[in-house]
Structure 1
Amino acid sequence: MAPKTSITVPSPTDFDPGLPRSTSSTSPDSEPSCPFCHISAVFPPYNPSDPPSPTSPILNPELTSPQPSTFIILSTPHLVAFLDIMPLSVGHVLLCPRPHRPKLTDVSAAESAELGRYLRILSAAVVRATGIHDWNVVQNNGAAAAQVVPHMHFHVIPRPELRDQRSERFTATMFGRGQRDELDEEEGVALAERVRRAVAEVLRADEEAGAKL
């Protein structure tokens, strides 16, 4: 097994101007060969309620070069979410913890809570950004369960015209085995920006709803 390397683990104060900044610590929870660990290491967190400009260097899809471009849609101290580069449908996104967690049972309690929170927010944001109101949430554990990258992640997969699909094709594509086309770079930049804005809108709506209680 390849030796583990350290990655910078940002603190929540790194994107909250209302809190004092703290010194980032390092974590050994990274696998050098893992593409999702690479994404976690090169994209810093930002405040999802106020995402950076689409031209910001911290969102540059080529930061993951020589690995494929990455279109970030959410980056917190504990989680990252990005567009699937071989999507099953427009708006197919992946959500994962920053540290290397091979399976769902390896995720910490705190990470699990934040994954659950943002899974709902991302689902709502993808609906807003794509206009597609049906979707799958899929999470695979292990090669026999169709997990390709051994870094725990959720798929949020919009489902246009679901009723027109034959049942056998639906079963295959639901678990990530259907026809997949490579994401176009220009389309990825534009779509990622729409989803980031939608995430901010959902968070603001949640804040307003909470203030009315």
Structure 2
Amino acid sequence: MTPPLPSSAFDISTSSSDSSCPFCHIAQTYPPFSPLSPPPSTSPLVSPTLTSPAPQTFVVLSTPLLIAFLDIMPLSQGHLLLCPRSHAPKLTDASASEARELGYYLRILSAAVARATDVKDWNVVQNNGMAAAQVVEHMHFHVIPRPGMRVKERFTSTMFGRGQREDLEEDEGAELAGMIRECVGEVLKEEGERERNGKL
């Protein structure tokens, strides 16, 4: 079942945050919007420059509990991050309600990214602590599309941990984020239709 969004105005200022955390900054900057009818790329609600002078942010999902955005140095096109709005250094620091919504939207975002990029294979990765390669101390999941090619009946793909790792261009990021937002809405509407027809 699609998690309902409160009908009242969202107040994200009450979330716990760390002023030195870039993900907390993003979470405090971008207000929630309905994933069923996301704003277009031209909307000020999702303007990449709101986080200026920090790196631009390309938001793909923004709920009262979670926020997802494109990785600014992607391993592949469509590489995105999903995290709780509240500061939670590791997965075990996330609340039960955040964990439920993270699980729900990981599946929805995976389907949306596959649809937007036309890449049908992907990794979901989550690191906890420095020894586990966590760079930003705010728990987050990576959804990383894995394009590959068939070579003589053997499937090859980019090795995990290697990829383009180039800065995401503003025009490309805005367009891709818009496509993923639209695909999230499509996936949610299709799931709602299947629920109504008793197929889920």
- Same fold by TM-score, threshold 0.5 exceeded? yes
The secondary structure found in structure 2 opposite 1:95 is strand
Does residue 164 of the first structure (1) align with residue 156 of the second (2)?
yes
Q: 1:22/1:55 Cα in 2 relative to 1: closer, same or farther (>3 Å)?
A: closer
Q: What percent of counterpart residues are identical?
A: 57
Alpha-carbon shift at residue 170 of structure 1 (Å): 1.4
Moved more, 138-147 or 155-164: 155-164
CA shift for structure 1 position 137: 0.2
Matches within 5 A, 1:86-97: 86-97=73-84
Q: CA deviation at 1:209?
A: 0.3
Which amino acid in structure 1 is aligned with residue 182 of structure 2?
R
Taking a change above 3 Å as real, the CA distance of residues 25 and 62 of structure 1, as seen in their structure-2 partners, is closer
Structure-2 residue corresponding to 1:35: 22
User: Where do 5+ consecutive residues of structure 1 fail to align?
Assistant: 1-10, 14-18
**Matched residue type, 2:135:** V
Report the CA distance shift for 1:182/1:24 in structure 2 as closer, same or farther (over 3 A): closer
Residue type at the aligned position of 2:108: I
Distance 1:47 1:74 in 2: 8
RMSD: 1.7
DSSP 3-state at the match of 2:161: helix
Letter in 2 for 1:39: I
Does residue 66 of structure 1 match 2:53?
A: yes
SS at match of 1:80: strand
1:47 aligned residue (34, 56, 78): 34
Counterpart in 2 of 1:4?
none
Q: Amino acid of the residue matched to residue 192 of structure 2?
A: E
Matches within 5 A, 1:192-211: 192-211=177-196
2:98 paired residue number: 111
Corresponding pairs, count: 190
Q: What one-letter code is carried by the residue in structure 2 that aligns with 1:164?
A: T
Deviations 1:6-40 (A, max 9, x none): xxxxx942xxxxx3x25737436100010000000
For 1:26 and 1:80, locate their aligned partners in 2 and report how far apart those are by CA, in whole Å: 14
Aligned partners of 1:25, 1:54: CA distance in 2, in Å?
22
Q: How far apart, CA to CA, are the structure 2 residues paired with 1:125 and 1:36? A: 22
Partner of 1:155: 142
Higher relative contact order, structure no. (Cα contacts within 8 Å, ≥ 6 residues apart): 2
TM-score (norm 2): 0.90
| Structure with the largest fraction of helix | 1
Q: Can you list the C-alpha shifts for 1:71-130, whole angstroms capped at 9, x where unaligned?
A: 000000000000000000000000000000000000000000000000000000000000
Separation in 2 of the partners of 1:55 and 1:65? 17
